[in-house]
Amino acid sequence: MGDRVAVLKDGLLQQVDTPLGLYDNPKNGFVAGFIGSPAMNLGTFTVADGHALIGGAKVPLPRSTVGAMKGTQVQVGFRPEALELASEGDPGSFPVEALVIEELGSDAFLYGNLIGDDLRADHIVARIAPRSVPAKGATVWFRIAPGRIHAFDVESGDALPTD
């Protein structure tokens, strides 16, 4: 494997960087979703008062993100390992219905659906502790670890600042 990777989309160069650079600092939503296994969780959410409304929760966005936005929606991204278990009512926590648990020994991945007010949508993947997995159909609360959120412009797909 090379020490630099070029990501192309429809014959156009999207980003050239080290594998870890692409993973940690994708230049756009395409690169974010392309690099990593499982892929980055990506969803488009409404923004109100500096918070993304995710599954009925108000997830705080960095000021730099809100200041760079052009509209009232943002594509939010977070890696499966960026999710932390939370409790219902914890600030910034959102509910996910567990659909499948993939147990891999030292790791486990929860595949589920984001639970909204009256709808269930937006597939979510979370890396969880392998020795305490929830039952299928259980509601699990997560929050995005501080400093681990990515944001992308809805129209262009370009990364927005998150510092």
15-71 tens-digit pLDDT: 999 999 999 999 999 999 999 999 999 999 999 999 999 988 899 999 999 999 998
Backbone dihedral region of 37: left (phi > 0), alpha (psi from -120 to 50 degrees) or beta?
Answer: beta
Lookup: tokens for 92: 């910034």
- For position 121, what pLDDT does the model report? 59
Q: Among residues of the chain, what percentage have pLDDT more than 70?
A: 95
- For position 163, what pLDDT does the model report? 85
Residue 92 has pLDDT above 80, yes or no: yes
- For position 11, what pLDDT does the model report? 96
Residue 3 has pLDDT above 80, yes or no: yes
The C-alpha angle with vertex 144 and arms to 140 and 147, in degrees rounded to 5, equals 165
C-alpha distances in Å from residue 73, one per residue of 40, 53, 63, 103, 152? 19, 10, 15, 35, 10
- For position 94, what pLDDT does the model report? 94
Who contacts 131 (Cβ-Cβ below 8 Å, separation ≥6)?
none
Q: Where are the domains of the chain?
A: 1-36, 37-160
- For position 118, what pLDDT does the model report? 57
Q: Band of the pLDDT at 120, cuts 50, 70, 90?
A: low
CATH number of 37-160: 2.40.50.140
Residue 114 in contact with residue 94, Cβ under 8 Å? yes
d(CA 134, CA 138): 6
Q: What is the pTM of this model?
A: 0.91
Over range 76-99, report the average pLDDT. 95
pLDDT tens string 134-150: 999 999 999 999 999 99
Helix (H) or strand (E) holding 160: strand 159-160
- For position 45, what pLDDT does the model report? 93
21 CB neighbour count, 10 Å cutoff? 15
